[in-house]
Structure 1
Amino acid sequence: MAELSTDWGLATLDLLSTAAPWRTFRWYRGQKHYSGTYWSATECAHVIYESRLELARLLYADFDFAVRRIVPQPFLLKATVEGRERRHVPDFLLVDADGPVIVDVKPAARLDDPKVRFSLGWSRKLVESRGWRYEVWSEPPAVELGNIRFLAGFRNPRHFERVLVERIRLDDLVGLTLGEALSVDIGVAAALVRATVFHLIWNRYLTVDLDEPFTGSTMITKGPRQ
């Protein structure tokens, strides 16, 4: 794909939303980062990441039903700051109902590094000068991440029968425990019911407390998506 250069103020959201990742995978002996591809339900396609922490941010974006687009490494940002040309590639562009969000993923332990603070600082100013949001994202709570990672195993709609999904979605599971919902007898295999319930939770039709490990007594409430 051809490289396109333009002024920052002229880089439209439509243009950036269709951008290919700026970098290709970097595989080399002894590398510190774990790179890979993640199949995104939001994009219905694979999205690349360059670290386990970036993968975690991908999971959160994919789980957020308000996020409509996930674009990895959407552009190379160049700017003259303090007399020198600076270069920075953000990790993700997310587009939700409120517009674009430029995301940089950084471990919390690196946020006090002067070079990191400087880079993130001028990047934030340029992004926010457009009226766009800018986010620096670090390690999430371990239990919450574990729960979202588990639910992501049920994200692909191609693995579920639409009729069964709608049938269970329309059943009144709100107010039941997770154990009760997974034991609902509707004349199909228990494994299918179990998978479909978790698929509905992933898609936010149903909600559970993500701050605690899932158990049979975890309560199901109404989700934000209808």
Structure 2
Amino acid sequence: MAVPAGVDPAEPCVELSYVDAVHGRRRRPLRDCVTGRFEDVAPVRTFRWSRGGRHFPGWYWAATTGRHVGFESWLERDRLLLMDFDPNVVGIGSQPFWLHWHDGERERRHAPDYFVRRADGSAVVVDVRADERVEPKDAEAFEVTHLVCAQAGWGFERLGTPDAVLLGNVRWLSRYRHPRCLHGPAAARLREAFATPGPLMAGADAAGERLLTLPVLFHLLWLRELVFEGVTAELLGPRTIVHLAGGVGR
């Protein structure tokens, strides 16, 4: 859908409202917000369960930030999990701001789902919506958000349903994302065991008792110190070939 003729991201009438830790709720022109660290602000909306509701909001503990990040649906949670697994992501904020604009007839607003900071310092605004659930009004809001983000120097992505195998693997590994799973001596033995590529369970057994080594192994896979081929091709299993990241022998 085309952006309404009345929308011009370069004009001061495009504003962001957000929750500032010092000043509380603020509303400012877009041009004054381009350097904001919106990955650190509080959500502009609350995440609440309601009886009979269609959505499933909640809080996810992100290993990337060491903080809880909100989500409003299982799809948002799944995308949040994948962002947490992405080594290029260093910051994630949910519902970071309201974007306000005028469509020529009335004021409109939209709260993107996530603000993501990448390791190179760039920022990406993310909306999550399955392809089949994008209504015309949603497409319009996403297009306006895309234009506004370009004006601010931010990227924009509208993410849909992720690959099922990738999600299944990352869901499993996410159970071991907490740093408490890292046992130093076991990690050293696992790195040695997988200096040469080999089956997951055989390497775990070579490094010690399974009850100790498997949680550490999955944590190293979460950190991507260890990797396996075909993360989108097949589910992780006892015979999955695992090796050190960066090539054999590193």
What TM-score do the two structures reach when normalised by structure 2? 0.83
How much has 1:170 moved relative to structure 2?
A: 4.7
Match of 1:207 in 2: 227
Verify the 8 A CA contact 1:90 1:103 in the aligned structure 2: yes
Q: Equivalent of 1:108, from 110, 119, 131?
A: 131
How much has 1:42 moved relative to structure 2?
A: 0.5
Verify the 8 A CA contact 1:81 1:122 in the aligned structure 2: no
Q: Equivalent of 1:72, from 81, 88, 94?
A: 94
Verify the 8 A CA contact 2:64 2:91 in the aligned structure 1: yes
More strand as a share of residues? 2
**In structure 1, what is the Cα distance between the partners aligned to 2:36 and 2:143?**
25
Question: 1:113-124 counterparts in 2 under 5 A?
Answer: 113-124=135-146
Match of 1:18 in 2: 40
Q: How many residues align?
A: 223
Q: Provide the secondary structure at the position in 1 that maps to 2:38.
A: helix
Using the TM superposition, name which of 158-167 and 211-220 deviates more. Answer: 158-167
**In structure 2, what is the Cα distance between the partners aligned to 1:184 and 1:14?**
49
Q: Provide the secondary structure at the position in 2 that maps to 1:128.
A: helix
**Structure 1 residues 135 and 27, CA, compared in 2 at 3 Å: closer, same or farther?**
same
Per-residue CA shift, 1:34-88, capped at 9, x if unaligned? 1111111011111111100010011101101111001111111101123321100
**In structure 2, what is the Cα distance between the partners aligned to 1:131 and 1:78?**
17
How much has 1:218 moved relative to structure 2?
A: 1.4
**Structure 1 alignment gaps of length 5 or more:** none
Match of 1:47 in 2: 69
**Structure 1 residues 83 and 201, CA, compared in 2 at 3 Å: closer, same or farther?**
same
What TM-score do the two structures reach when normalised by structure 1? 0.91
**In structure 2, what is the Cα distance between the partners aligned to 1:182 and 1:159?**
14
**Structure 2 alignment gaps of length 5 or more:** 1-20
Verify the 8 A CA contact 2:190 2:204 in the aligned structure 1: no
**Structure 1 residues 167 and 82, CA, compared in 2 at 3 Å: closer, same or farther?**
farther
How much has 1:194 moved relative to structure 2?
A: 1.0
**In structure 1, what is the Cα distance between the partners aligned to 2:84 and 2:216?**
18
**In structure 1, what is the Cα distance between the partners aligned to 2:29 and 2:173?**
41
Using the TM superposition, name which of 30-39 and 166-175 deviates more. Answer: 166-175
Residue 216 of structure 2 is aligned to residue 193 of structure 1: no
Match of 1:60 in 2: 82
In terms of Rg, which structure is larger? 2
Q: Provide the secondary structure at the position in 2 that maps to 1:21.
A: coil
Verify the 8 A CA contact 1:173 1:220 in the aligned structure 2: no
The aligned amino acid for 2:222 is: W
**In structure 1, what is the Cα distance between the partners aligned to 2:139 and 2:156?**
14
**Structure 1 residues 101 and 219, CA, compared in 2 at 3 Å: closer, same or farther?**
same
**Structure 1 residues 167 and 178, CA, compared in 2 at 3 Å: closer, same or farther?**
closer
Question: 1:114-193 counterparts in 2 under 5 A?
Answer: 114-186=136-208, 189-193=209-213
The aligned amino acid for 2:142 is: L
How much has 1:135 moved relative to structure 2?
A: 0.4
Verify the 8 A CA contact 1:91 1:103 in the aligned structure 2: yes
**In structure 2, what is the Cα distance between the partners aligned to 1:47 and 1:71?**
7
The aligned amino acid for 1:108 is: D
How much identity, in percent, do the aligned residues show?
Answer: 34
Q: Provide the secondary structure at the position in 1 that maps to 2:27.
A: coil
Using the TM superposition, name which of 162-171 and 94-103 deviates more. Answer: 162-171
**In structure 1, what is the Cα distance between the partners aligned to 2:190 and 2:200?**
14
